[in-house]
Chain A
Amino acid sequence: MASTTFKIWRGERGQGAFTDYATEVTEGMVVLDAVHQIQASEAGDLAVRWNCKAGKCGSCSAEINGRPKLMCMTRMDELPAGEAVTIEPMRAFPHVRDLVTDVSWNYEVKKKIKKFTPRPPDAPDGTWRMAQADVDRVQEFRKCIECYLCQDVCHVLRDHHKHDEFIGPRFLVYAAALEMHPLDTEDRLRDLKDNHSIGYCNITKCCTSACPEHITITDNAIIPLKERVVDEFYDPVVKLVRLLRGKK
């Protein structure tokens, strides 16, 4: 067993400082295990949100050594040996206490996205028929566990605080899952351009690199949506073709 120092952010409402804790690290431990160990032995009042410990609930999001990660999926042996480990809360959301942030803004944003609106059923029994190839594309987006690490690392939210204008990568993925769905009939492109400000994304791919589910957020969701927005609002040739075909 080796003792490792953990520098954990302690404080409330954005104020606070790193406090050092030393704890024993054993083989197979993840960062969340160490935090629980510290909580049990030295800091019983340490606030940390967690639930499944299996990388599926998205609760234990934090910044470990400066990188947004799930504490339960970050193995201690992945981190530099012999160095102190820093753990701080996500910086894109209001700070509540210690490692806990208020992510409720995300729930409000989700409500603003037009819901799934399927075409009338294909069969008399109220069911639909889809080709597997057509749903394969959106299947990837359904892996999202809503940990909001992509929102946290997105500089539009994290550094520029455009929360009132920009919905962030998580909800661009959500919008892509609906917009590209073969059964969906709703049009979200004007919202994406004007109200959800997809143009704020400057494709740095930080969201993709932070995603614990390895969703190819930028290439498979955001850029295809950007291209659809270009079709609809910026491309004069597409507009002309639509005009000639009598489509609006």
Chain B
Amino acid sequence: MHRSLPVMDQRKFGETLRRDAWWVPNVFVVTILTSFLVYATYAAFANAHYTSGPYLSPFYSPEIWGDSPHAWFGPKPVWWPGWLPFSPALIILPIPALFRFTCYYYRGAYYKAFWADPPSCAVGEPRKTYWGEKSFPLVMQNFHRYGLLLSFILLVFLWHDAWLAFWFSSGNGGTQFGIGVGTIVMLVNVLLLSGYTIGCHSMRHVIGGFRDKLSGSRARKVAYDCSSACNRGHMNWAWCSLFSVALTDVYIRLCALGVITDLRIL
């Protein structure tokens, strides 16, 4: 840079000439993410009221071990260490947590909201040092694609759960097709999670973005275009799917507690 000329004085923390309420998105991000974290922690440690009829909370899916009929391998294994808290959700939740924590959209949002780096565009910062994502620990964000891979596997199970949500007990040991409000809740949830996952930047890269030529394979081009279409609204998918996961758990929990009754539409 032209060292003989000085730059303008550095803005102090929070200093800006912007007239808009630049801090409002940060308040939203801090409030929503903190609330979600608190609720998810409660729901995960509760280890109860996570199923109702054919519905299984997305926090607990897949239920590898557990006390509900959805559990793959029965109740908590005998070898589970006594000092380690047990809940089927605690086995699963690290995966979506890794996926969302390293998500390119959320990164930008929480760097601003929680770390003020920067507080907002063209707003003064609190500290002078800066490492970015070039050094440890934030260089670990580069493993986002592994979060994607594992979350994609979970998504398959969530679709399976949504399918099972159409099959209600017929009372004679069998099942019959039906639709309840919970079925729609679970279906909407898995659709939103799919939009969020398909539009993931790493997904877009893996299914074609890594190549300079997309025209060689029609299937790849279609997949890339589909991912790009979802990617354009990635922020909206991210928030809507976060809300839907929590609200789906709330709905099933309230049904399980008997606070509300699931309305059968069909």
Residues of A bordering B, CB below 8 Å? 13-14, 63, 65-68, 80, 83, 86, 88-89, 91-96, 102, 104-105, 131, 133-134, 137, 153, 155-156, 158-164, 179-182, 184, 197, 199-206, 209-210, 218-219, 223-224, 226-231, 234-235
Is B5 within 8 A of A155, CB to CB? Answer: no
A24 to chain B, nearest CB (A): 22
Interface of B is mostly: loop
Is A206 within 8 A of B122, CB to CB? Answer: yes
Residues of B within 8 A of A164 (CB): 1
A203 to chain B, nearest CB (A): 4
A-facing mask of B96-137, CB < 8 A → 1, else 0? 000000001101100110000110011011001010111100
Is A203 within 8 A of B107, CB to CB? Answer: yes
Indicate which residue in B6, B19, B117, B135 contacts A80 across the interface (CB closer than 8 Å).
B19
Residues of B within 8 A of A209 (CB): 121
B205 part of interface (Cβ distance < 8 Å): yes
Question: Roughly how many angstroms separate A246 CA and B122 CA in the complex, as a whole number?
Answer: 48
Residues of A within 8 A of B125 (CB): 155, 159-160
Assuming the A-B contacts A94-B1, A95-B6, are A202 and B212 also in contact, with contact meaning beta carbons closer than 8 angstroms in the complex?
no
Tell which of B9-17, B64-72, B170-178, B181-189 binds the partner.
Answer: B9-17
Residues of A within 8 A of B210 (CB): 227-228, 231
B215 part of interface (Cβ distance < 8 Å): yes
Question: Roughly how many angstroms separate A102 CA and B2 CA in the complex, as a whole number?
Answer: 8
Is A66 within 8 A of B8, CB to CB? Answer: no
Is B132 within 8 A of A104, CB to CB? Answer: no
Residues of A within 8 A of B135 (CB): 199
Question: Roughly how many angstroms separate A224 CA and B212 CA in the complex, as a whole number?
Answer: 11
Residues of B within 8 A of A63 (CB): 17, 122
Is A104 within 8 A of B2, CB to CB? Answer: yes
Residues of B within 8 A of A229 (CB): 142
Assuming the A-B contacts A91-B8, A206-B122, are A200 and B17 also in contact, with contact meaning beta carbons closer than 8 angstroms in the complex?
no
Residues of B within 8 A of A91 (CB): 7-8, 11
Indicate which residue in B107, B121, B214 contacts A133 across the interface (CB closer than 8 Å).
B214
Is A202 within 8 A of B121, CB to CB? Answer: no
Number of A-B pairs, beta carbon distance below 8 Å? 153
Q: List 7 A-B contacts (CB under 8 A).
A: A65-B19, A68-B122, A91-B8, A131-B215, A161-B7, A181-B212, A205-B108
Q: Classify chain B: how many residues form its interface, as a range.
A: 35 or more
Residues of A within 8 A of B104 (CB): 203, 223
Is A200 within 8 A of B1, CB to CB? Answer: no
B202 to chain A, nearest CB (A): 6
Is B5 within 8 A of A102, CB to CB? Answer: yes
Indicate which residue in A159, A206, A210 contacts B124 across the interface (CB closer than 8 Å).
A159
The chain A residue sitting closest to B3, CB to CB, is: A94
B231 part of interface (Cβ distance < 8 Å): yes
The chain B residue sitting closest to A18, CB to CB, is: B17
Is A95 within 8 A of B201, CB to CB? Answer: no
B49 part of interface (Cβ distance < 8 Å): no
Is A133 within 8 A of B111, CB to CB? Answer: no
Question: Roughly how many angstroms separate A206 CA and B22 CA in the complex, as a whole number?
Answer: 12
A-facing mask of B214-255, CB < 8 A → 1, else 0? 110000010000000001101000000000000000000000
Residues of A within 8 A of B108 (CB): 202-205, 218
The chain A residue sitting closest to B17, CB to CB, is: A66
Question: Roughly how many angstroms separate A86 CA and B122 CA in the complex, as a whole number?
Answer: 14
A96 to chain B, nearest CB (A): 6
Interface hits, B155-185 → A, CB 8 Å: none
Is B5 within 8 A of A96, CB to CB? Answer: yes
Residues of A within 8 A of B53 (CB): none
A142 to chain B, nearest CB (A): 16
Residues of A within 8 A of B139 (CB): 199, 234
B204 to chain A, nearest CB (A): 8
B23 to chain A, nearest CB (A): 13
Interface hits, B198-214 → A, CB 8 Å: 201-202, 204-205, 209-210, 212-214
Indicate which residue in A13, A133, A159, A224 contacts B6 across the interface (CB closer than 8 Å).
A13
